[in-house]
């Protein structure tokens, strides 16, 4: 099956610093990648959708200047949380879709971010 | 607006059968997914329905009725490891996934 990796799996950073999370599709080309955030005991919340080579489309209420998304290749997307604050502490999950007739989203294992 | 409803929590006994329902109202429909998510982990794919009827895969089955905007996930021969959240998600006319809040399933011995 299609495999998506995320790095790092967990990270602790100080308030005011920036953190970059990588999402890679290992055995397929991902035309579209999605970034989700999930707070404890809540469902997934879509943050943004990115297509390779174009700007990400952010969901309402998500600050694009704070959550920088880059989808520079068909196998890699990055999410950078800039000037992180404790309220940004969450579980960040990426997913990837190959496109065509395959509409399933393949999820990465997630990244646990803690901002102190 | 777009809306997906599923029960917040269900409890079942090991070895039994449980049915988790999902109703949806979305702008267009291009398929319905069920995902399983254990605490602290990312969701894993269980099933995909785009046509009416029942899809069976081992101990898990998923049913869809597009006219009723309704689906259910049926889990048989429940095992303790099935304790998890089960997420219903619908792909709308823009092929965006609209997520339900998830159903936390608790399995008791």
How many residues appear in chain B? Answer: 109
Distance between start and end Cα atoms, chain A: 37
Give the nearest partner residue to B42 out of A42, A103, A107, using CB atoms: A107
Within an 8 Å CB–CB cutoff, is residue B62 touching chain A? no
Judged by CB atoms closer than 8 Å, whether chains meet at A43 and B96 is answered as no
Question: How many Å lie between the alpha carbon of B101 and the closest alpha carbon of chain A?
Answer: 5
pLDDT in tens, A21-72: 999 999 988 889 999 999 887 888 999 999 888 889 999 999 999 999 998 8
Strand order in the sheet with B18-25: B3-5, B18-25, B70-75, B60-65, B53-57
**Model pLDDT, residue A48:** 94
All residues at 6 or more sequence positions from A41 whose CB lies less than 8 Å from its CB, including other chains:
none
Task: Look over chain A and give the mean of its residue pLDDT values, rounded to a whole number.
Answer: 91
Collect all residues of chain B within an 8 Å Cβ-Cβ radius of residue A34.
97
Asked if the C-beta of B4 comes within 8 angstroms of chain A's C-beta atoms, the answer is no
CA distance B87 to B46: 10
- What is the CB neighbour count within 10 angstroms for residue A70? 15
Chain A residues with CB inside 8 Å of B40's CB? Answer: 91, 110, 112
Report yes or no: A90 and A21 within 8 Å, Cβ to Cβ: no
Q: Which residues are within 8 A (CB) of A54 and not within 5 positions of it... i.e. 6 or more apart?
A: A71
Which candidate, B101, B104, B107, B109, places its Cα nearest to that of B24? Answer: B101
Per CB-CB distance under 8 Å, the chain A contacts of B44 are 107
Nearest to A105 among B97, B101, B102 (CB): B97
Query: Which pLDDT band holds residue A82 (cuts at 50, 70, 90)?
Result: very high
- pLDDT (tens digit, 9 = 90+) per residue, B38-68? 988 889 989 999 999 999 989 999 999 999 9
Helix (H, G, I), strand (E, B) or coil at B4: strand
Q: Which residue has the tokens 């579980």?
A: A91
* Strand order through the sheet with A67-73: A4-7, A19-25, A76-81, A67-73
Q: Using pLDDT thresholds of 50, 70 and 90, give the confidence band for residue A100.
A: low
The answer to whether the Cβ–Cβ distance between A104 and B96 falls below 8 Å is no
Phi, psi of B20 (to 5 degrees): -105, 120
Contact residues of A toward B, CB < 8 A: 34, 42-44, 46, 49, 91, 93, 103-110, 112
Residue A41 structure tokens: 């005991």
Residue of chain B whose alpha carbon sits nearest to that of A92: B42
- The stretches in chain B having pLDDT less than 50 are none
Q: What confidence score (pLDDT) does residue A101 get?
A: 62
């Amino acid at each position: 099956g299609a495999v998506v990796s995320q790095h790092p799996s967990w990270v602790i950073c100080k308030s005011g610093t920036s953190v970059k999370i990588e999402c890679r599709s290992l055995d397929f080309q991902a035309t579209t990648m999605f970034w989700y955030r999930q707070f404890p005991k809540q469902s997934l919340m879509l943050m943004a959708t990115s297509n390779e080579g174009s700007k990400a489309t952010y969901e309402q209420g998500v600050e694009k200047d704070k959550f920088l998304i880059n989808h520079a290749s068909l196998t890699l997307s990055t999410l950078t949380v800039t000037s992180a604050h404790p309220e940004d502490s969450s579980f960040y999950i990426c997913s990837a879709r190959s496109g065509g007739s395959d509409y399933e989203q393949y999820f990465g294992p997630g990244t646990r971010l803690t901002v102190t | 607006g777009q809306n997906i409803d599923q029960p917040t929590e269900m409890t079942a006994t090991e070895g039994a059968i449980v049915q988790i329902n999902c109703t949806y109202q979305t702008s267009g429909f291009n398929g319905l997914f069920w995902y399983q998510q254990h605490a602290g982990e990312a969701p894993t794919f269980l099933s995909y329905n785009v046509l009416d009827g029942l899809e069976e895969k081992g101990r898990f089955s998923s049913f869809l009725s597009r006219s009723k905007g309704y689906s259910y996930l049926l889990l048989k021969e429940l095992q303790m490891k099935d304790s998890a959240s089960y997420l219903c998600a619908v792909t709308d006319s823009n092929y965006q996934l609209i997520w339900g809040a998830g159903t936390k399933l608790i399995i008791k011995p």
